[in-house]
A = this chain, B = another copy of it.
Amino acid sequence: MERDSAILLIAAPDREGLVYTVTDYIYRNSGNILHAEQHIDSSENIFFMRIEWDITNFKINQENILSSLEDMKQTWRMDISLYFSKVKTKTAVFVSKKDHCLHDVLYKTKNRELGIDISCIISNHEENRRLAQYYEIPFYLYPMFKDNKQEQERMQLELMKNMGIELIILARYMQILSPEFVTHYQNRIINVHHSFLPAFIGANPYKQAYEKGVKIIGSTAHYVTDDLDKGPIIAQEVIHVDHKDSLDDFICKGKELEKQVLTNAVKKHSEHKILEFQNKTVVFD
């Protein structure tokens, strides 16, 4: 866990020699590859790669790695993102009243199961302040009324900018973010929707599921886009239900799923294992 490594996420038009080029770069500079995963989207012929290497003896300083890749990037028309295993993702957690997802995210962060650093908890309600205190995380209240949304979002964004927030977790945050807000954190806002998307989009998905008489309910973690509940899916989980289950049972069983998919998605994101492409995700193991 405490390794000192660099991680490259690459997307590029597929061509012979791509893997060779990347591994050659790492080998020439004395990096030892720890993990390498690739995927080719055969319909669009796009090559995706995640490669992680030990930088203990790497000949290029961390701050110079990106510039040292510039030529390769141009030649192969790569999208490149670079991360370091020792740098945890600075994160803000948004929550309303329901606290099960917040509990799970806080607990697992504290136990180092998620590679994030929670800088703040932001809420439109008071209810979760005490929990934030227990975990010693700053808690910021931004109540939402009919007319103050734009102003509140502006202040939230400013706070997050000052804190250097890189990832937003919507842990059952019951407000719809404005398109302006979303623009600032593209593919960096993870929401949990309490249905097996694309089934039961919108409000009260458990109620919709209950009335339909489905035998399985689900939960979905996805990146937030302007299109409500339609952003790229990261993780989904399901559980069986039957006629004995009331709507309350659906909700209760669903809470376990919501926690699961949300923390799984956050873990993948913070390990830099997710690539987004045409509203779908590549999620490496």
Contact = CB atoms under 8 A, between A and B. Distances in A.
Interface residues of A, number: 61
Nearest to A40: B34
Nearest to A267: B252
Contacts of A105: none
Q: How many copies, total?
A: 4
Interface string A204-225: 0000000011111010000000
A107 B113 contact: no
A199 interface: yes
A36 B39 contact: no
A248 interface: yes
A235 B215 contact: yes
Interface in A86-111: 100, 103, 107, 111
A254 interface: no
Given A213-B279, A238-B238, A27 B16 contact: yes
Given A16-B27, A17-B27, A283-B243, A238 B216 contact: yes
A177 interface: no
Contacts of A44: none
Contact of A213 (B213, B252, B281): B281
B243 A282 contact: yes
A197 B26 CA distance: 42
Interface in A8-67: 16-20, 23-24, 26-27, 30-42
> What 5 A-B pairs are tightest by C-beta distance, nearest first?
A213-B280, A20-B27, A199-B199, A20-B23, A215-B236
27 contacts: A19-B23, A19-B36, A20-B24, A20-B33, A23-B23, A23-B24, A33-B38, A35-B38, A36-B38, A37-B37, A41-B243, A100-B111, A103-B107, A113-B252, A196-B196, A212-B233, A212-B280, A213-B233, A213-B279, A214-B233, A215-B234, A215-B236, A216-B236, A216-B238, A238-B238, A242-B283, A244-B285
Given A23-B23, A218-B238, 18 more contacts: A1-B248, A16-B30, A18-B33, A19-B33, A20-B20, A20-B27, A39-B244, A42-B246, A196-B199, A197-B199, A198-B199, A198-B214, A199-B199, A214-B233, A215-B236, A215-B283, A216-B218, A256-B260
